[in-house]
Structure 1
Amino acid sequence: MDDDDDDAYRPLLFSIAYGMTGSVGDAEDIVQDAYLGLTRARQKGTTIAEPKAYLTTAVTRLGIDHLRSARVRRETYVGEWLPEPVVMPGIGPGGEDITGPAEHAELADSLSMAFLVLLESLSPVERAVFMLREVFGYGYRDVARITGKTEANCRQIFARARQRIAAGSRGSGGPPGPMRRAESAELARRFFEAAAGGDLDALLGMLAPDVVLHGDGGGKARALTMAANDPVRVARLLLGGLRRVRAYGVTLRLAWVNGSPGAVLRDADGRVASVVELSIADGVVQAVHAVANPDKLRHLGPVSDIGLLPGK
């Protein structure tokens, strides 16, 4: 098998690495390191009968090592932590063309921001086992091979992880029911239209009673310091925030973010100011995730200085 054939696995490998880390840059580095390991093994004369299995194992184990070293950094993170947003290529919710990195095109839709935040409650190995089994559909035999655990141990780890994820879901209002892509896209269009137009009543009509607004500024950009979970407060925060940034020439464009409807906000010079993802289910918005931390937006292009805190 040549390098071109090996490259066909990049979308899957990126999805696994991103699911492990919640970081686009770290995921790309992990995937590159896995391919480098494959090249070195072949140069030493090692026969790799199943490159896909080799690469998947390498990416997963590198992801586990990364999470172990990242724990201290996460504990000292300023404000609420959200994953780096992945803006998907293809057709946007409003029918417009959306551009984005092609290698991210097959990112699993189930790797939403809400789901990735829930995964933060798991240990690195629990996260790997749960994600490989639940998201990517690997059998326990393959999960055991990839993680270096026994099948029996993987079953126990998965059951324990599933219980913890379920408990976290209940604590945040329960897992949302599914909603068809077209319907959620239309709701997102009306949602952002109402928010941009200052229509409080229309916005409230699209929010779940227990809606939660999450903001991640990383201590570098203006964002909520804690989650807001009252519909009226959430609506007013959204309206006030959009009103302030529009005064600086910021525009909003619909996009698919982590497989969910969302929007990218850019300043008058086209620089990314923030990315918003909507968790939609049962005909309403269950959660809003807004990422303004400039470090988490650089993979999308030049980053705006609008909203940055003094000295940042």
Structure 2
Amino acid sequence: MTAEPDETAAAGYRPLLFSIAYGMTGSVGDAEDIVQDALLGLVRARRSGTAVANVKAYLTTAVTRLGINHLGSARVRRETYVGAWLPEPVVVPAGRPGPAEHAELADSLSMAFLVLLEALSPVERAVFMLREVFGYDYPEIARTVGRSEVNCRQIFARARRRVAERDDTPGRSRRAEAERLAGRFFEAASGGDIEALMEMLAPDVLLVADGGGKTMALAHPPVGRLPVARLFAGLFRRFLPMGVTLSPVWVNGRPGAILHDAANRVVSVISLDLTEGLVTAVRSVSNPDKLRHLGPVSDLALRRPD
């Protein structure tokens, strides 16, 4: 019998496993916990003498099923979440070809895409993501989620219809062009140049801000060029004198920026959706619970007592 790969080899699947778990949960911390649980489960299975013929399939199945179970309790928490919900951002320094520690995280796991997946049931989400994002065939998906191939085809078709009904996500821009546009956007915002900002914004641009009820947020998020331009000019006018700095990054496969305070603590992460050379959506995460995986979190954006 061929020897099983050792634990180091099994850990080589971690980037793929993280991508699946993150796509299921929208949480970096939860995804990492799920991956670790799956790897520990493999260790326990091998130590008990259980034969594992295909380590990758075993781990993929474990992560997917753990993700399905996790979503049951997560949905209860989401129902009581304060304000708009966005996934925890996966941040990569600008200029790199793709995520470093999570190399197989697909660009299609954007914030907008993950929000769309919230409309699906846990099993629908698993089937849709394994097929649409990771290209698994139906026999693989059926074994992973414990359903028949016919049922998985039906689930995927139903999930795809539901996502298509809600999907107004802009098309992807080329990376270099996207970085240049994002750079000009944040430069104009830093300089308070409202006219320059408006030239880069789509007429119906929207802003989605996730503060989780813990940071200052707008009662009515702005929609449209002028309101969004004024908000960002005002935001930077407030923060820059406090020593806040901005670093260009890629956020879930989209250009954006991470803001740090003078003590190098994370203030927020901003992601831009682009299409045809215009910013169509701005997504900002300032909920400190969703930023801790990026380092110490600043209190600059915390909501002040009324």
TM range (shorter): over 0.9
- Give the percent of matched residue pairs that are identical in Structure 1 and Structure 2: 67
Q: 1:107 aligns with which of 101, 105, 108?
A: 105
3-state secondary structure, aligned to 1:47: coil
* Structure 2: gaps (5+ residues): none
Give runs of aligned pairs for residues 215-226 of structure 1, distance below 5 A. Answer: 215-226=209-220
Structure 1 residue 256: Cα displacement: 0.9
Q: Distance in 1 between matches of 2:61 and 2:38?
A: 9
Query: Residues 133 and 101 (structure 1 numbering): CA distance in 2 closer, same or farther, change over 3 Å?
Result: closer
TM value normalised by structure 2: 0.95
* Structure 1: gaps (5+ residues): none
Q: 2:130 aligns with which of 110, 129, 132?
A: 132
Shift >4 Å, 4+ stretches: none
Structure 1 residue 298: Cα displacement: 0.3
Report what 1:292 is aligned to. 286
Q: Distance in 1 between matches of 2:172 and 2:105?
A: 18
Report what 2:11 is aligned to. 7
- Note if contact 1:34-1:58 (Cα within 8 Å) is conserved in structure 2: yes
Structure 1 residue 227: Cα displacement: 3.9
Q: Which amino acid aligns with 1:48?
A: V
Q: Distance in 2 between matches of 1:49 and 1:63?
A: 23
Count of paired positions:
302
Q: 2:62 aligns with which of 58, 68, 87?
A: 58
- Note if contact 2:216-2:304 (Cα within 8 Å) is conserved in structure 1: no
Q: 1:187 aligns with which of 181, 192, 206?
A: 181
Report what 1:43 is aligned to. 47
Q: Which amino acid aligns with 1:127?
A: R
- Note if contact 1:215-1:226 (Cα within 8 Å) is conserved in structure 2: no
Asked if residue 160 in structure 1 is aligned to residue 147 in structure 2, the reply is no
Q: Distance in 1 between matches of 2:226 and 2:159?
A: 34
- Note if contact 1:80-1:226 (Cα within 8 Å) is conserved in structure 2: no
Report what 2:201 is aligned to. 207
Structure 1 residue 304: Cα displacement: 0.3
Q: Which amino acid aligns with 2:224?
A: D
Q: Which amino acid aligns with 2:196?
A: A
Q: Distance in 2 between matches of 1:177 and 1:273?
A: 28
Report what 2:72 is aligned to. 68
Q: Distance in 2 between matches of 1:20 and 1:145?
A: 17
- Note if contact 1:223-1:292 (Cα within 8 Å) is conserved in structure 2: no
TM value normalised by structure 1: 0.93
Q: Which amino acid aligns with 1:104?
A: H
3-state secondary structure, aligned to 2:208: strand
Query: Residues 58 and 16 (structure 1 numbering): CA distance in 2 closer, same or farther, change over 3 Å?
Result: same
Kindly report the root-mean-square deviation, in angstroms, between the aligned alpha carbons of the 2 structures: 1.8
